[in-house]
Structures are given as structure tokens and as C-alpha cells.
Structure 1
Amino acid sequence: MGDWDVSCAICGVIFIPEDVYIESEAELFSEGKSRESERDRSYSYDGSKVTKADCEWLSDNDALGLWPQHGQPEATNTFMTGRFEPGGYGSILLEARALSSHLQDQEDSMIAYRSVLGGLLTVFPFHTACYKLLGRVISGRINTTVDEENLYAAFVRLSDEYSTWHLDIDYGSPCPRDNRSWITYRGHEVDAPSAVLLRPTNIRCPQLLVKNPIDTANISTHLVNQQFLPEVLASSSVLQDPFDRLPHEIRQHLLELLSNRDIAAVRTASYPMHATIPSKAVWKRLIAAHMPWLWEMDAVISRGAYRELNLSRTIRELENWTTFGDDKTDTFSLALANRRRIWSICEIIADEYDKVTDECKVATTKEWVDMGDGCFELQIKP
């Protein structure tokens, strides 16, 4: 019969590391070990890039559920389970008495996403780090208050009856593996042909997926310094340059109106524009447009270090350094590429969250309707 792990609703990755080899190949050979099968190799990580400490955040988790029969009409009906351990068949095992008052009468385990059995209360699980990242996307702050009822409603809208291990959304690239597996029990062999519908479990999970997305990264070596032309070339280049007739403040204002590509073009073609340092407002606007997930740039801009940097080349370098690619094994940041991937997922969830929020603002009545699979749909009447 089929079994499946529970995955984070936000990033799509499971909650504890698989039984993987963290050691590098060199360490294995030096210790006289060898991989016994190709399956072991497919589960392995390079110890020079991923450590056990890198994976600890995967077990720091929570889950969001809804209990509409509880409380008064004006009270919130949502609850957080607190930390849990993943169980089998899409379940989570709740830690003893870490439960809210809503769950005191519940069993120690709950079903994640949709229940194929029906009649069971289900929850949407996530890593704590991913939830913080979602909060930043929703409100722009890492520690923020999210309306849990609206978020639950958004999760329900983004799930379906066939997605019993994650939401029905695009989890970016690289996409976490389909974590369903097939377990054959004695006497159940007749069901084995159904296994062809399921993908094998020994698909290698890219190393960046286990990197904590909210760890602060060192980006200093990927900031490109400003380069100025020699005085002889500079003096000859301004003779017929119309921008030379404009005051410095006007040239700066022009940069504030241009895209990153246009800024690069005009500063390449014109020395006066090349010598015009883009203002803090330009930097903040372009960073927000191109890489809102790279909050390390906030400190660079705040302390004025941006004045010594080439705006367009720095953005191009940072975008390249944080982009995942199968052919870029050692030339991109695992942690920032994972953060960038999860940020794009958070934007999908935040868009649905905003729709729910907007609908609730003009609603005259709201009602939670039991869908029969453990979830409750928010029905709103304007």
C-alpha cells in the first residue's frame, strides 16, 4: 500500500532529513566505508556543502488548523498545534501537551492537508522559518502578525483532494520530490500494480532544499565596486554630451525614473550619467523590484556603502549568484537560492491571502463550511 511523508505547505520539503549520508565521498573512502547501493548514493549530500546543523531547522515546525465549533462567533477559530514529529501516511504526531485548549480532546496525531478517509480534523503544517518568511512577504516584516483565519482559508483554496502531501501550487525549481512511496505487505501483493502510478523514492533531493532560508548570508564578495573612467577619457566624452548641461540633482532624478536596464545603458553611453551616483531611493526601488528577498542589502543601503558600488552590475551579480541551475554546482549560494525559491512560493500564498482579506473587508456574513475531508471552506457573502 502507499505511504507518504508530510511536507511543508510553504516550501514543499519534508520536516526531518531523510536517512542520508552527510559525509563527503573523500571522508567515506578515508574511513574505509563504501556505498552499498546506488540507492544510498541517491540519498546522499556532499558533506562540504551540507552539514547536520544545516538540517536542524527542518524539525522546527508548527501546523495551522481550524475548529469552527469552538468559541464565540467573534472569536478566532484557528489554532496552532505546536511542534510535532512526522508520522506515516500523511499524519503528524503532536508533542505531549504542547497543544492549545482546542485540541485537548484530540488524539496525539492529526492528518495533514486533506483526509482521504473523511471526518477527521486536518491541519496545514509548515517549518517555522518558512512561516516567518511568509510573514515578511505578507507585511514586509520578519516578525509580524498574520491573520490566521485568512491564512487558513487561503491554504484551503490552494489545496485539493488529490494533494495529500502539499498544496496544489508550483513549488519552484528545483521542485521537492514527490514523496509518496510504495510499501508491500505480505498478503497485499495483489495491489502492487498500482505502484506504477507513484514515483520512486530514491530521487536525489537537491542540497539547496535543506538550507535554512532565513539565515543571514554574507554577500560582501558579490558587491561590484564602481569604476570611474580616466580623466582624459572623461573630459573628451563630455564635449558633445547633452546630460553635461543638466544639474546633478536633475540627473539623479532621471535615474529614479529608469529601469535597471535603462540605467545601465544611459550610464554606459554618457560619462556625466556614469559619474552620477544613483541615490538611496533608486537602490531601494530596484532592490525591492528585483530581489525583495535579499534583506542583507538593507544594511548595505542604510550605511551608505551603496555609493561605492556599481548598481546594475551588483544587481546582475547578485541575481546570478542566487539563481539555481544544474550546471552551476559551485557558483551559486545554496541558502539564498532556496530563500529565493521559497519567496516565490510565499508570493503565491500571499496573493491568495490578500484576496481573502479583501473579500472579508466587504463581507456581511462569513461561514465556515465543512468540506467532508477535514477542511473547512470560508464562504463569504458581500
Structure 2
Amino acid sequence: MAFDCYCAICGVGFCGMHIEAPSETALERRRRWIEKRCRALQAGKDLGQVSREGDETEDPVRSYDPRIVGWDNISWLYKAHCLGVNENAETGATKAFISDEGYYADIGEFVVKARSDGDRPRSQQVFSCYGHGSEEAPGPVLPFHWCCFEILIRTITGSTEIKNINLDVLYSVMTPLCNMSGSALQLSYGDDIQRAQGRYWECIPGAEYCATHPMDTPQLEDFVQENAETNSELKTPSAELDLRGREPASPFGRLPLEIVYQICMLLPGDSLKALAQASLNIHIVTQDNLFWKQFMQRDMPWFWELQAAKFQKVSHDLNYKKMYMWLDKMTAPRYGMDDLKLIGVANRRRIWGVCEELADRYSKSLKQPSVSSMQWGSG
């Protein structure tokens, strides 16, 4: 029985990508389809509820928007590698291996094409994804897109050097997460991915960000730089806090300022914003512009374009708190996203979140702390 398997890291498929032919009629139908579902999400409904309501007047839209993705920029999805083990490896040698580039061939099979190795031609290799193994590898192999693997290595080690990662440990922490269907790992890929992961990959209109290359973002750096320099909304100074007659009292007020600063720096963005609203002491500490510049770099390790030298030289009047809030909102992976400049980094942000789950398991398996998120940007 035919079925699709999905990338162990990003959760997206390796085939079956459908892009609608461009036409004004099709684009208008798509616009209505997505707008209706965006309203449903805003009302707290599930997208599945919309389809079950039975008031659809048009045929379902089951393809991606040609204005957002094209065959040239989704070709990365069709190219794959896999992580497996070779039980015949010499004693003391690494058993886990990464295959050459291959493709998903249906019914759970991953194929690496035959090629010549010097004077000795090598036969085609066939692996069993998430299954019980094959002649090529006795255990399940985990298929992935190469750029997703680079993001995973960067998340774990702070670089993209494969030599810095222990493949045996990585394999040992990933294989227990194989799901019951034998098509992916049990990881938080995101709601849109979970909806698309059926027997076959479903190209959900409005979720094109899932199929957008997370590393090939040529317009991104210039876009961020331009807004940092010209967006007046990001240069407005934060409002002065009037403390007349107010004596903030909280446990944080009894701690040295340096300790409070470090606590805030380690919090997730949403937690910090909530705490700043609840505690006047925290609100005061986080008024510092330098704090937000450092916090933005720590809280957005997936946004390594922020490390670009020219961004570090932006004018001194940039309000980094507003810059952080703006970037946090604009890069949030969400249904209906269509900004060509940011859609790639939104997918990268989603994949980074998945990789953090694996990085945590990897670090615990090695019995060592996770790599400092301040190491991002090196390659």
C-alpha cells in the first residue's frame, strides 16, 4: 500500500507538491478560501471544523500558491539523505552513517542511486524509513532534507560542521520517537504540518511557509537592514516611566540588579513580556535599550542574519525593544503567511523549535549542558 514518509526534522514530505496554475480566477478563489479559514482561526476554531461545516460553495483548494512557491524553489524538498546504522562497522568505530543524496520512492522506501566509486561501480541502495530495517541497514533509517539537518547541527553545536556531532548519540535519541504510523517522528512540527501529514502529503493553501526553503533567504538581510534604518516606528523612544509616588515591591526588588538582568535574559520572549507586565521591577530593568539588543540576539538564535556586520552598525536611535517585538510578530510561522521576504525565516524558526526538542534529548544523553545560544551565527 502506497504512502508518504516525512522529514524527521521538519516534518514535510519529499514528493507530491502541487502548485496551482496561475490565473485570476484561481487566485481569487484561493483568496476567499484562505480568508475564510483565517477568520475561523481568529474565532478559535480548528481548520477541520470549517471543512465539516458543509457550507463550502466551491471545490476544495488543494495546492500551493504559485506567487509564493514555484518549482524552482521547492526542489529542495525532493532531495533527501537519511541517518541509519551499520551494525558491521568495526569495533570502536561510529556505527551511525549519513547516506548520499537520494529520493523517497513510496511505501516507506528511501533510494540512493547507484554511482561509480573509483573503478568499482556501486549498486543502488534501498533503505526502510522508520521501519524495521533492510539489508542495507538493520534498523530504521531517518530521512531528512539536508538544510534541515544543517539547522539541527547548528542548534546542537552552534556550527554546521558534521564532525562536531556524535551521530551514534543522535541516532539513539531520534529512533525512539518514531511514530505509530511509521512516517515521521513524534515531535512538535506545528499544527499546519500535522494537518498535512496524512497518508499522502496535503498541500494546504495558506501553509506555503512549510514548503519554503529555510536557508535560501536572499532578500532577508536587506529587508531587516532597511527597516532598521528607515522605519520610523522602530525609532520612537520608549515612554518614560513615571515612578512618582510608586514604590515597586516584589521579590525581584530584593535581588542585585545584575542577577535580575540575567534572569530576564534567560526567559523566553513571551514569558519576559508577561513578567514585565506583572512586575514593575522587571519593567524597569527591561527599559534599557542594550538589554533588548542582547535579548533579541539570544532569543532569536534562528535569525542569524541579525549577526550581519552591517546590521550591528545601525544608527544609535534604533529602539531594540520595538525591533524585537516587530521581528517576533513578523517571523511567527502562521497560516496565511505570504510575505516573500520573511516566509523562509518563519519556516526556519519553526524547524529550529523542533530541533531544540532533539537538542535537549541529545544533550541529556551526553550528560552535558546544551550549547549556549549565543554561539549562533558561526558556520
TM-score by length of 1: 0.67
- CA spacing shift, 1:268–1:309, aligned 2, 3 Å: farther
Residues 1:65 and 2:84 are matched in the alignment: yes
Cα deviations by residue, 1:34-55 (Å, 9 ceiling, x for unpaired): xxxx77x633221211122220
Out of 340, 346, 362, the position equivalent to 2:355 is 346
Give the equivalent residue in structure 2 for 1:318: 327
Give the equivalent residue in structure 1 for 2:23: 25
Give the equivalent residue in structure 1 for 2:294: 284
Displacement of 1:23: 3.4
Identical pairs, percent: 22
Secondary structure of the structure 1 residue equivalent to 2:234: coil
Aligned amino acid, residue 175 of structure 2: V
The answer to whether the 8 Å contact 1:283/1:301 transfers is no
Secondary structure of the structure 2 residue equivalent to 1:153: helix
Aligned amino acid, residue 26 of structure 1: E
How large is the RMSD of aligned CA atoms in angstroms?
4.2
Distance 1:63 1:5 in 2: 15
The answer to whether the 8 Å contact 1:113/1:123 transfers is yes
The answer to whether the 8 Å contact 1:112/1:123 transfers is yes
Cα deviations by residue, 1:10-65 (Å, 9 ceiling, x for unpaired): 001112352x2343332979xxxxxxxx77x6332212111222202213321111
Secondary structure of the structure 1 residue equivalent to 2:103: strand
Give the equivalent residue in structure 1 for 2:204: 204
Give the equivalent residue in structure 2 for 1:198: none
Distance 2:159 2:245 in 1: 48
Residues 1:75 and 2:85 are matched in the alignment: no
Distance 2:304 2:154 in 1: 10
Residues 1:13 and 2:12 are matched in the alignment: yes
Distance 2:338 2:357 in 1: 28
The answer to whether the 8 Å contact 2:81/2:146 transfers is yes
Residues 1:220 and 2:221 are matched in the alignment: no
Aligned amino acid, residue 125 of structure 2: D
Give the equivalent residue in structure 2 for 1:112: 129
Distance 1:110 1:116 in 2: 7
Aligned amino acid, residue 295 of structure 2: R
- CA spacing shift, 1:316–1:228, aligned 2, 3 Å: closer
Displacement of 1:154: 1.2
Secondary structure of the structure 2 residue equivalent to 1:43: coil
- CA spacing shift, 1:73–1:332, aligned 2, 3 Å: same
Secondary structure of the structure 1 residue equivalent to 2:367: helix
Secondary structure of the structure 2 residue equivalent to 1:3: coil
Distance 1:158 1:73 in 2: 27
Displacement of 1:251: 9.7
Aligned amino acid, residue 211 of structure 1: T
Secondary structure of the structure 1 residue equivalent to 2:347: helix
Give the equivalent residue in structure 2 for 1:309: 318
- CA spacing shift, 1:322–1:220, aligned 2, 3 Å: same
Distance 2:263 2:116 in 1: 53
Displacement of 1:358: 2.1
- CA spacing shift, 1:140–1:322, aligned 2, 3 Å: same
Distance 2:333 2:14 in 1: 22
The answer to whether the 8 Å contact 2:3/2:107 transfers is yes
Q: Radius of gyration: which is bigger? A: 1
Distance 2:116 2:81 in 1: 11
Distance 1:152 1:94 in 2: 19
Distance 2:340 2:92 in 1: 53
Secondary structure of the structure 2 residue equivalent to 1:73: coil
- CA spacing shift, 1:85–1:53, aligned 2, 3 Å: same
The answer to whether the 8 Å contact 1:211/1:338 transfers is yes
Aligned amino acid, residue 43 of structure 1: R
Secondary structure of the structure 2 residue equivalent to 1:344: helix
Give the equivalent residue in structure 1 for 2:142: 124
Cα deviations by residue, 1:272-299 (Å, 9 ceiling, x for unpaired): x99x8633x65233431x3221111112
Secondary structure of the structure 1 residue equivalent to 2:142: strand
Displacement of 1:331: 10
Give the equivalent residue in structure 1 for 2:111: 93
Q: Which structure 2 residues correspond to residues 222-301 of structure 1 after superposition, within 5 A? A: 222-223=227-228, 225-228=234-237, 258=264, 261=273, 278-279=289-290, 283-288=293-298, 290-299=299-308
Displacement of 1:220: 3.3
